[in-house]
Structure 1
Amino acid sequence: TAAFLGGYRLKGFAQRPAVGTRGGILLLWNEDHVRVESVQYGDYTLSATVTIISSNISFKLTSVYGPTRNNLKEAFFQEMKDQKPANNVRWLVTGDFNQIYRARDKNRPNANRGRIVRFRNTLNFCELKEIHIQNRKYTWSNEQSNPTMSKLDGFFCNEEWDITFDKHILHALSSSLSDHCPLLLANEDGPRRPRTFRFENFWTNMPGFQQVVQEAWNETSAHNEPYQRLFHKLKKTSQKLRSWSKSLFSNAKVQLHMALEVILRLDEAQDHRALSPAELDL
């Protein structure tokens, strides 16, 4: 599962298995960019020391999956307190907390005030502050026609982390795949994605594939050394296939991104008003 989700870039992983359908935590990372050490597994948390290779800056990362049952909340809050690192250690905490710390983080007036106070006290003890989401009020919906919505997911950090990574920004993405919306924490410029070649298996069934590969493979190479000639042929073939696939499938990709953008806009609208029947059907 980790290899399927992470692909060839995110080869490093640590996991806390789910119990039934809940409680699972999966941490994936690119070993070319970060070093992850000292992984610790708790009942509701997975923590590790993360070092950015290019700068040698380290911080503690804690991923959480908070329990839904009220009688387990206190154990969850205590485990968060136990994870608090020593002074001057940068700390970033993220995940599905299954808990709000402010009444306005739920669109219903029936929030449990006692649990809110206990969670807020936990955050204060841990000296954590929220990294605010730029474009959404809530991160979860029960997806009913008149939905209950809450901000159950988020990022919190201590002062040391915030000062070191002072150009971060947090955005919610489209909730097209889940009743929770994904969150993307990045620097102001956004994540840099290297241009890489990915071969798609369905290409072989598309008209023109064989011709593109044959023409690229048969191009004259100035290299005599066998390995260099092979590298040249593979490089030329990947370039030709990339151009061919872009012209063939660009419209489908545009439509996909348009659909995700529409869903995100409806997510944002639902934070402030009920969606119309036509919008729900869409």
Structure 2
Amino acid sequence: MGDFNAVRRPEERFNSVFCRRTARDFNEFIRDSGLMEPKMGGFRFTCFRDADAKLSKLDRFLHSPCFLDIAFNVTVTTLPRELSDHCPILLSNSRRNFGRPPFKLFSSWMLRDGFEKAFITSWNNFVGFGTPNQYLAAKLKHVKKGIKEWRDTDHPKEEVELRNHKLVVERLDHEAEKRNLTEVELEQRRDNFKKVVEIEKFKALDIKQKSRIKWAVDVDENTIFFHGYVNSNNRKNGIDGIMINGN
């Protein structure tokens, strides 16, 4: 459809002129034909003119009511436009909810205090029955639950501990600008700074595992850099489903 007859409402244009007459004709055509437009997610506008920064919603799906009889879970998503000035729009008939995410065990957890105790306690306290494979599956599930409960308790404590250590270092740094620190204060600063580095190193290990990339230098611990990779991967690797032979 051309630029003039594909826009239905004023909010579907930004920084460009809305033509009420052509929009009225287009809406009347849709109404007289008995067509419906599914709600669109993703980007609000589908066309971006680089020359004058004009945005419009020019691309859309229209369907008849009977289409919902065979595609009752239909969704429309506007994808990134990348090299084109138009965004591709995806019509899907699948549910976006694929259940709870799988349990992930981070390698750094095994280096933290309390992990070994939580694992051994959950392993030894399990009571079950069934065939050997059913027994093992149930036992591993029980251990997973114990580890998650430990981590749910340990993580908030770790955040509070990190914040307190940073406050001590910050306070002593302010004092050092006014006077010479005593040997006790210097030792206190070294101990707290060491704790900050230790906890931040655990966080860097988690980010490294999340990002699933190979560090160019294994000792690089720039957490902002790896947060960027994590966020980028989350945007790029989101998959709602896979089409195989038309299914």
* TM-score bin (small chain): 0.3 to 0.5
Work out which of the two has the higher radius of gyration on C-alpha atoms and give 1 or 2: 2
Q: From the two aligned structures, give the one with the greater strand fraction.
A: 1
Q: From the two aligned structures, give the one with the greater helix fraction.
A: 2
